[in-house]
Structures are given as C-alpha cells and as structure tokens.
Chain A
Amino acid sequence: GENVEQHPSTLSVQEGDSAVIKCTYSDSASNYFPWYKQELGKRPQLIIDIRSNVGEKKDQRIAVTLNKTAKHFSLHITETQPEDSAVYFCAARYFGNEKLTFGTGTRLTIIP
C-alpha cells in the first residue's frame, strides 16, 4: 500500500518569511496530492491540491510542487502570517482508490 513521509514534524518561521513542507510517497501509481490545514480543535480543511499531470499549482500565497520522478511534493507558503499557524497534512492516492493516505503532519508556528 501507499506510504507517505512528511518533514519536518515541527517548523517555526518568522512572520513574513516563507515556509516549506515536504512529502515523499511510495506508490508510483498515486496521482492526486491534497494538502490539508487543521487548526486546533477544528476540521482538516483542504487548502490546495495537485494532480500528476501538472508540476506546480499556485493559489495566492500558497503553492504546491510535484516531482513525479522523485516521488515527492512540497507545500510552499510565502509571506507567512500568524493565521497560518496550524498543523498541515499532506496526502496521496490514485484515482479509483477510495483510500487517502496521510502524512504524519507538520506543526507550523508563525512567530510575530
């Protein structure tokens, strides 16, 4: 089955700086990679996703890059703000597979 590794487990960034979280997946058939943000006591919320037919996707301050050859994908947050503080989970699966495999999570803290 799919296995997703996520690094780092914790990340502290000065407000205004950029943050990068990296994930590696094992199943080369995986072709859908979402990122979820979970604030304390709240639901995981989808913030961005990418499919394997593209290498990069941007949405304002958030971007995701995908390297299919190396089987890794990364979340980039620029101009970080205090409200970006949360736990971020990457995930992977392939179309037709109901199971979404999550990474172990990254606790991001933005230092004012």
Chain B
Amino acid sequence: EVQLVESGGGLVQPGGSLRLSCEASGLAVSSNYMSWVRQAPGKGLEWVSVIYSGGIIYYADSVKGRFTISRDSSKDTVYLQLSSLRAEDTAIYYCARDMGGVVTATPLFAFDLWGQGAMVTVSS
C-alpha cells in the first residue's frame, strides 16, 4: 500500500525548534515532488514547502529562512526542520505527494497522496 506517515509533532515554546518526518511506503521520495502543507486549527490549507525529485526546493514566504526541507532517499523519508517557531506556526502539518511524479515528468501542482498529519503546537 502506498502511504505517507508523519511523525515528530509536539508542543514547543516560541523560538524553539522541531523536526517533522514523513516516511513513505510504496514510493520513492527521490522520484517524486514532495510537499508540506499545514492547516492551523479551524483554518484553511496553506502550502509550506516542496522538494523536487531533482532537488529544487521552494518555500512559502511565511516560513522562508526558518524552515528547511530535506530528504533521505535511503530511508524514503522527507523532513521539515522548523526553527524560530512562532505561535502562528501552530498547525497540523501534512506531507503530500504531487501526482506529477506519477503521471508526468513534471509537477502537476495537485496533491494526490497525503499523510495523516502531525500536530505542532507553539506555546509557552
């Protein structure tokens, strides 16, 4: 079964750091376009970051300079390092796969596979 499983969420103080992991089963993260998307409590979806199969990386302005996306192909795991955390970073963080890696050789900017999410709470 193809699936994504996030881990590493928790409670952290403002200014603190946390690393989220997204372990993939049934797919190779190095051959896919892997994103992180977050959802604050009771709010909508917000795209956070993406790492392309070729290694290109993009970030949303709201997290640029504070968050770092990376991957370990040997473990088929994508990471999101969260630093200088603020209260407004409190959210469920989803790992998501762009279906472009499956259908075409380019991203389709549509996410067909999602993890169950990891909750990050930034509070003192």
A joins B in a complex = no
Residue ranges of B at the interface with A (Cβ–Cβ < 8 Å): none
